[in-house]
Amino acid sequence: MKTLTIELPDTVDVDDKDARMYIAARLYEKGKLTLGQAADIVGYSKETFMELLGEYGVSFFNYPSEELEDDMKNAEGHSS
């Protein structure tokens, strides 16, 4: 596992756990980490991590809009 050291100004009011959550949430959002990997970075269960994502402006449903559009078109072709 890689180790990352970040120096933040003293004026930034964020603790280690919160900073890890910000980073893990963004990397999950970008598809760089799986849900499990992101949860592990912060030390939460997958369920807890999923619940907290919204507080960091990240949707649990990490589904590209292009794929959603394709799925909708495919579903329309199969309707009865």
Which stretch of 2-6, 40-44, 51-55, 75-79 has the lowest confidence by average pLDDT? 75-79
> Domain residues of the chain, as ranges?
16-77
Reported as a pLDDT band with limits 50, 70 and 90, residue 64 is low
If one compares 76 and 54, the residue with the highest pLDDT of the two is 54
- Tracing tokens 């919160």 back to the chain, one arrives at 18
- Tracing tokens 């329309």 back to the chain, one arrives at 76
Which stretch of 3-12, 28-37, 56-65 has the lowest confidence by average pLDDT? 56-65
Question: What span, in angstroms and rounded, lies between the C-alpha atoms of 35 and 43?
Answer: 12
Q: Which two three-digit tokens encode residue 20?
A: 């890890």
Reported as a pLDDT band with limits 50, 70 and 90, residue 65 is low
Question: What span, in angstroms and rounded, lies between the C-alpha atoms of 2 and 25?
Answer: 17
Backbone torsions φ then ψ of 33, nearest 5 degrees: -130, 145
Q: Which two three-digit tokens encode residue 79?
A: 């309707």
